[in-house]
Amino acid sequence: MSGHRARPPSQRQLRVGEELRHALARILERGMLRDPGLEGITVTVTEVRMSPDLRRAHVFVTPLGGGPTAPVLEALTRARPFLRRHIARSVELRNVPDMDFMADGSFDEATRIETLLADPAVARDLDGPADDEIEDEDTNHGL
């Protein structure tokens, strides 16, 4: 164990990350990227996590409606210089961060959890014992 904990993001990191997320979403929404990997695909930027020095951004994306993420990530990586130029014009920053594009698995994880919760065995356990069973247990333990 290293003995130190990871620090939560600062307000500045959160604010800059949100500004970048909005700027990227505007670029993607307007269809400014002309890449075959993005042909007919709507991309959602779900989160941007900034490094403490604000020089690196981890951009989490997902294709709207699901689908393969590898071609989307490749297309966005190819378009990185274009995206940085447009961000430099629209967001006031001393340095435009270098962006790493990553697939956001949170929607897949949420779907997996919903499927588990819909399972009859899990639903039965979540419902718990019926009220009359609890009353019977309480009266029997009182003797």
Average pLDDT over residues 46-71: 90
> Is the overall model pTM greater than 0.85, yes or no?
no
Query: 5 or 18: whose pLDDT is higher?
Result: 18
- Given this model, what pLDDT does residue 57 score? 95
- To the question of domain 1-104 being in CATH 3.40.50.880, the answer is no
Question: Where exactly are the structural domains of the chain?
Answer: 1-104, 105-143
pLDDT digit string, tens, across residues 119-134:
777 767 777 665 555 5
Give the tens place of pLDDT for each residue, 71-97. 899 999 999 999 999 999 988 888 899
C-beta separation of 95 from 56 below 8 A: no
pLDDT of residue 117: 77
**Beta sheet of 43-50, edge-to-edge order:** 43-50, 56-63, 98-103
Burial label, 41 (beta-carbon count in 10 A; 0-12, 13-18, 19+): middle
Structure tokens at 78: 């190819």
